[in-house]
Structure 1
């Protein structure tokens, strides 16, 4: 006999096997599926659905009015999506312009100005100046000159480009006006209406001057079809042009020879 002794081998403790697991045997605490953990057998909980992003808030839409709409229109004019106005009224032309701007940038073509549309427009434009905001008129009339506060006065502001018809300090009506160019400026100061001519035609320029009310040499307040058609993109030869024929027709019927005219900045 050899000098070797027989050693009794104790079975290994469960869960500590180093080698491969015998076929048909699964160590305690493990899954029968290769690579799976005990938790894999449990049903998984459904993940909560991601809520949809909130729709952008509408700022202005058709029918709205005000200075914010006027600024929107002025900015749309800067990027050549709107060619009319600004008027301060969200009209059909504004809806069409907004749709075009939105479609060009892959935004929903709603025609409504929402927060996303407005932010995109702000990045592409600059803050409009006063003349851009009132390129087609509509600017509030300036505070009357002190010389306008007594009597019957055509109170004409070059700053706001407006005419107030005033009687004893009370404003009866207001209207948009334009003036002469730098080469033919409208005179400033205090004058009086000295001649009225309902169907006047200029003898110098051979152009109609309806509802003319002359106050200084050949300069008069009168209706201008060119002003009505082109707005402030033109100028007179020194006269005070009125664009609203209905308003100046009413004014012509009320003004008398001798009434005061004040032209000021």
Structure 2
């Protein structure tokens, strides 16, 4: 009787082993993904994944959930099952999270300009420096690990840090800007500084023409002004226009205000702060110098 019981016991164990092995075999897709576990009510249509038992044989907790991305998804894991870097911010992005990124990097002295909200080469360079300091892959792109470490290393930016009076850091003035009344415009820093006898009176962000319609560089003078003007070539509004070179002018641009550096002008110097330009327009006189330089 004991021998018969032992034989039966061995047969049962073998059957259990076969059943367990069947649950760990690939599903035939070639991905090595385990086959879906049986539902709590075998053969019942409509059984949901949360009805399945867990790997230890216990029923899942009421809050248990299953991942929406498969382990083979490159955004969630590499072949070894280790979570991979997922892009959060990168080149060309323009939004408020980029502005916060720049403000936090500036707190840590990795970004030497005020936030613009646009992710370009300067921001990518600052991110690389931060990543190098923290022992992260130097991609220049913000992933979850980079963002997490940045949050822990910095504090939440204030309103003034996010949107300071002048977004871009002023460039060193061109020598031609150091005397007289001058609109000193730097293509390098993308700024306009209104200067009188070498002193900066006010400053603002500017945008220039594209490669096909470049803004001319050199020494000019304000030829004439128009508070309200519409381009006779492109038929677009040019408020607070101050013309300095054969149709090129400093003027307010609603497109610049809306899109930032994602766009370009047809050769004019665009300003996005309407209030600042309005005040400047009232101060500048025909004959004042205009210097456009790198």
Sort the TM-score into its range (normalised by shorter chain): 0.5 to 0.7
Match for residue 99 of structure 2?
86
Match for residue 186 of structure 1?
215
Please, which runs of 5 or more residues in structure 2 have no aligned partner?
1-86, 105-129, 143-165
The 5 A counterparts of 1:1-265 are 76-78=88-90, 83-84=95-96, 85-86=98-99, 88-89=102-103, 122-123=136-137, 125-126=139-140, 138-265=167-294
Over alpha carbons, which structure has the higher Rg?
A: 1
2:224 touches 2:286 (CA, 8 Å); kept in 1? yes
Q: TM-score, normalised by structure 2?
A: 0.49
In structure 2, C-alpha distance between the alignment counterparts of 1:200 and 1:164, rounded to whole Å: 23
How far off its partner does 1:78 sit? 1.8
3-state secondary structure, aligned to 1:86? helix
3-state secondary structure, aligned to 1:252? helix
1:143-175 Cα deviation digits (max 9, x unpaired): 000000000000000000000000000000111
Q: Closer, same or farther in 2 for the Cα pair 1:82/1:119, shift >3 Å? A: farther
Q: Which has the higher contact order (CA 8 A, sep 6+)?
A: 1
Match for residue 71 of structure 2?
none
Q: Closer, same or farther in 2 for the Cα pair 1:125/1:173, shift >3 Å? A: same
Q: What is the alpha-carbon root mean square deviation over aligned residues? A: 2.9
Bigger helix fraction: 2
3-state secondary structure, aligned to 1:209? coil
3-state secondary structure, aligned to 1:147? helix
2:223 touches 2:243 (CA, 8 Å); kept in 1? yes
In structure 1, C-alpha distance between the alignment counterparts of 2:272 and 2:256, rounded to whole Å: 5
Q: TM-score, normalised by structure 1?
A: 0.54
Q: Closer, same or farther in 2 for the Cα pair 1:77/1:189, shift >3 Å? A: same
